[in-house]
Amino acid sequence: MLCAKHQFGYRPQGIQTSRTPFGIRLHCDAIVRESHSLPRRAASGTQKRFNFQSSNCGLYPTFPQTPIQLVHFVPIAWCKDQRRSADFLTNILGLPEAKRFMHFLVVELSNRVSIDYFETDEDIAIQHFAFLVTDEEFDAAFELIRAQEISFWADPARTKPGEINHHFGGRGVYFADPDGHLMELITTPYGSE
């Protein structure tokens, strides 16, 4: 418990203490239970070691020095109408219908990444979303873009309207969603040759 108070002379079972220049450090072993966000193959009771640093304000966890890693990234797309924006993207990309999660409308992509649409009445800062797709997915999406008469460009500056690009031996196209976010489809990752 992060807000537990350390009382002098009291040490719950399983907790060791050591003095540091900044106060008393508590060491305890805790069981981390499986949550819905962990893969099914994870053990339901994995042993973890937590350290807590005490201060005048209470106990705070300290973590071992490890390289910084991005564990979870969810782009949040601000929009005026969640349903309209999510339906636009799922339609173009041929994805399943977006699902509600709290105040977000979530579009799930195939690589365990999602775009979470968040509705606002404020001005929207335009964002760029690039999607690596197969040639078949590009053909299907591009056909819908043209059939729905959605403006498209070969470049992000929008100086080459009605064209696609052929960077790195693939195909790419830019188009705007209903809120002006710049969507990009590419068939070859950047830097490929």
For position 64, what pLDDT does the model report? 56
* Shared-domain flag, residues 52 and 91: no
Same domain, 41 and 128: no
Q: Report the amino acid identity of residue 169.
A: G
Q: Does 8 reside within a domain? A: no
- CATH no. for residue 135? 3.10.180.10
Spatial CA neighbour of 166 closest among 151, 187, 137, 141? 187
Domain contains 97: yes
Q: Are residues 138 and 166 in the same domain?
A: yes
The radius of gyration of the chain from alpha carbons, rounded to an integer in Å, stands at: 24
pLDDT of residue 40: 40
Domain co-membership, 120 together with 159: yes
- Range of the structural domain that residue 126 is part of: 76-186
**What pLDDT is stored for residue 168 in this prediction?**
93
pLDDT per residue, tens digit, the chain (193 aa), is 333 444 444 444 444 555 544 444 444 443 333 333 334 444 444 444 444 444 444 544 555 555 665 555 678 999 999 999 999 999 999 999 999 999 999 999 987 889 999 999 999 999 999 999 999 999 999 999 999 999 999 999 999 999 999 999 999 999 999 999 999 999 998 887 6
67 lies in some domain: no
Tell me, yes or no, whether 45 and 82 share the same domain. Answer: no
Pairing of strands 58-62, 45-55: antiparallel
* Domains identified in the chain, total number: 2
What region does 36 belong to: left with phi over 0, alpha with psi -120 to 50, or beta?
alpha
pLDDT score at 112: 80
* pTM exceeds 0.85 for this model: no
Same domain? 85 vs 38: no
The string of pLDDT tens digits covering residues 57-78 is 454 455 555 566 555 567 899 9
Output the average pLDDT for the chain: 77
Q: Output the six-digit token pair for 181.
A: 């976010």
3 lies in some domain: no
- Asked if residue 25 is part of any domain, the answer here is yes
Residue 169 and residue 143 in one domain: yes
